[in-house]
Amino acid sequence: MQNSILNKQAFYNLTPIAIELVDFINDGEDARHFRFRLPSPQSIDKPEPGQFFMLSVPGAGEAPFTFTVTPNDQGVFRALVRKMGEVTTALFQCQPGDILGIRGPFGKGWPVNALANKKILMVAGGCGLAPLAGLIDQLITSHHHKHLALVYGTRNRALQMLNPERLRWQQEISLFDILEDTGSTQASTEENHILEGTPLDAMDSVLRTLDWTPDTLLLCGPEVMMSAAAKNFIQRGLSAQAIWLSIERRMHCAVGLCGHCYLSEHHLAHHYVCKDGPTYRWDHLQPPEKN
């Protein structure tokens, strides 16, 4: 990709490609859905669902984000960003036309092959919906799976993201909004599929409503939520090999060099989420069985 003086081997690319900020729409509290344009559609390899890229905001730094829509034939792609820290604060001060940088795609995406004919339940919390968005669209288009439902938990209505996308998905899949604080929303359990509490609080009700039993669980959101959900479903009889999650970590290089994204599970102490993840199967995260 990048020219480098030592062209002899496949060096990691630590230097971004310039991209243009096309535009953005506000989507949720302190969140924006951005459109960026690559120099050409072939500027980067085609990303798999669940892979991520590193966005450079010159002067502020670089941080990992997921593709909500992968590059089209104009080289335009989309990413959902919540304003959290230095890089995102600087990004929110950018205007259409500004030049930023991209490196990627990185990491192991969702196990699309393993989803063939599966009855998939996705549980997303907060910003965790973004890494699943691309997969949902792909599954809806490909009909690769058997069933698909999404449980999306946030603290309140204002924090919900990907509102246009969810409206669209609602036509095709079962979609449950779980709000810790329903506020003044008219909560209705049957039609609007709006439930109060956390995703786990609502799970019994969700499963009752679905007329199929999930055999595959995909999780993305705060670690506490993902961990609790996985354990919950294992108790319900789901195999640990049928549960996948996407782990988030601080990242600086995305190629397994800088060390920040390590997993602290004892048997994985040398793993880096950027390379070996961010998608993990639940059983791989558990300590190996003692002989």
Partner 1 sequence: MKSYYLDHPNTLRNHLAKSYQIEPPEADSAKSTPPLISPKGQLFAEHENLFTFDGECFRETLPKPAPFVLFGVQSCDLTAIHYQDQFFANDPYYQARRQQALLIGTDCLNPCQQGFCPSVDAGPGVKKETADMILHQLSATSWLLLVCNKKGLNALEGLLLNPANESEFTDRDNRIASCVEQFNDDSYLQQGITAINQNQVPEELWQQLGIQCLSCSGCTTLCPTCSCYGTWERQDSNGDIRRQRFWDSCLYESFQREASQHNPTEEAGERVKRFWTHKFGDNFAQEFGRYGCVGCGRCEQTCPGVVGVHSVMKRIASDAKLDT
H or E stretch at 206: helix 199-209
- Residues 232-271 close enough to bind partner 1 by CB under 8 A: 248-250, 252-253, 255, 257-262, 264, 266-270
- Residues 34-63 close enough to bind partner 1 by CB under 8 A: 56, 58-63
CA distance 66 to 36: 13
Q: What order of strands is seen across the sheet that includes strand 61-66?
A: 61-66, 52-57, 99-106, 17-26, 31-37, 76-82
Is the CB of 197 or the CB of 222 nearer to partner 1? 222
CA distance 42 to 35: 17
The answer to whether 95 contacts partner 1 (rule: CB under 8 A) is no
Say how far residue 52 (Cα) sits from the centre of its chain: 8
H or E stretch at 231: helix 223-235
Is the CB of 3 or the CB of 141 nearer to partner 1? 3
**Residue from 147, 152, 116 nearest 133 by CA:** 152
Site string for partner 1, 127-156 (x = CB under 8 A): ------------------------------
Q: Cβ distance 215 to 121 under 8 Å?
A: no
Total residues at interface with partner 1 (CB under 8 A): 49
Residues with Cβ < 8 Å from 117, sequence gap 6 or more?
144, 145, 146
The answer to whether 79 contacts partner 1 (rule: CB under 8 A) is no
Is the CB of 214 or the CB of 277 nearer to partner 1? 277
Is the CB of 153 or the CB of 214 nearer to partner 1? 153
The answer to whether 2 contacts partner 1 (rule: CB under 8 A) is yes
Site string for partner 1, 187-226 (x = CB under 8 A): -----------------------------------xx---
CA distance 77 to 269: 34
The answer to whether 18 contacts partner 1 (rule: CB under 8 A) is yes
Q: Is the peptide bond before 16 cis (omega within 30 degrees of 0)?
A: no
CA distance 234 to 239: 6
Q: Please, what is the minimum distance in Å from the beta carbon of residue 215 to partner 1?
A: 30
Q: Please, what is the minimum distance in Å from the beta carbon of residue 9 to partner 1?
A: 7
Q: Please, what is the minimum distance in Å from the beta carbon of residue 94 to partner 1?
A: 13
Q: Tell me what percent of the chain is helix, strand and coil, each rounded to the nearest 5.
A: 25, 30, 45
257: DSSP letter: -
The answer to whether 85 contacts partner 1 (rule: CB under 8 A) is yes
Residues with Cβ < 8 Å from 211, sequence gap 6 or more?
none
Q: Please, what is the minimum distance in Å from the beta carbon of residue 23 to partner 1?
A: 20
Stretch touching partner 1 by CB under 8 A, among 26-34, 78-86, 111-119, 180-188: 78-86
- Kindly list the residues in this chain that would bind partner 1 in the complex (CB under 8 A): 2-6, 9-12, 14-18, 56, 58-63, 84-88, 99, 101, 222-223, 248-250, 252-253, 255, 257-262, 264, 266-270, 287
